[in-house]
Amino acid sequence: MAPRIDHIDSWIFDLDNTLYPPSAKLFDLIDERMGAFIMRLLDVDAVEARRVQKQYFHDHGTTMAGLMRHHGIDPEDFLVDVHDIALDRIAPDARLRAGLERLPGRKLIFTNADADYAARVLEARGIADLFDGICDIRITQYTPKPDPAAYATMIAHLGVDPASSLFVEDMARNLTPAKMLGMTTVWLDNGSESGHRDHLPDHVDFHATDIADWLDNLPQPWGIS
């Protein structure tokens, strides 16, 4: 039996590889800039830079968190540099927009990226006007998901009640803290790199592979099924 959703009044979405598909390969551009940043910072080749990048991502939640901890980087320098990318790989999606429009209550963003970049992505997808708030990595004082402290900050900043909130994420490990707080969780299992890492089925209420499909197939009046 599918979990109830008629009590949900806050619909919280991750950003990258969630509100646009991984097939757009937008994050590949960020990945490349992260690698170049590390090469310059540590004076290493591309192979070593990638090893460091992914190791820090797995160990600390984000590459940036690892670089801050181990190398004392200025997070703002990193954020501005790696998100300086063109967004021509993504475009407005009328079906996604219609699905989001049907959801009652507030629609919110919780991202390990920064709000400036998030706003650009939402605008490129044609859905910026549908969202009521963003909790970004600056708001969490550079503490990333899945650190429980980031979720506590998000709840306070966005003013949500976990018991009536639903959280959509492509990274399974980022759903565990949300579930422990009492949120309804949606794992968008869409092929994101490391999306399956630390997947705990008991912490996933809905398992989806496409965000627009999932929205369309919700019970009425939330979906069109």
Q: What is the mean pLDDT of each run of 10 residues along the chain (225 residues)?
A: 84 96 92 95 95 90 89 93 96 97 97 96 98 97 95 98 97 95 96 72 93 93 81
Query: For residue 202, with 0-12 CB atoms within 10 Å meaning exposed, 13-18 middle and 19 or more buried, which class applies?
Result: exposed
Q: What is the DSSP letter of 15?
A: -
CB contact set of 115 (below 8 Å; sequence gap of 6+): 134, 136, 138, 139
So what's the pLDDT on residue 3? 76
So what's the pLDDT on residue 224? 86
Q: Which two tokens stand for residue 89?
A: 């790989």
Report the distance separating Cα 183 and Cα 159, nearest Å: 14
> Which position has the token pair 């969630």?
18
Q: What is the DSSP letter of 4?
A: P
Evaluate whether 174 touches 14 at the Cβ level (below 8 Å).
yes
So what's the pLDDT on residue 93? 96
Bridge partner residues of 135 (DSSP): 110
Evaluate whether 177 touches 158 at the Cβ level (below 8 Å).
no
For residue 208, CA distances in Å to 55, 130, 168, 215 come to 27, 22, 10, 10
So what's the pLDDT on residue 1? 52
So what's the pLDDT on residue 198? 67
Instruction: Give φ, ψ of 214 to 5 degrees.
Output: -60, -45
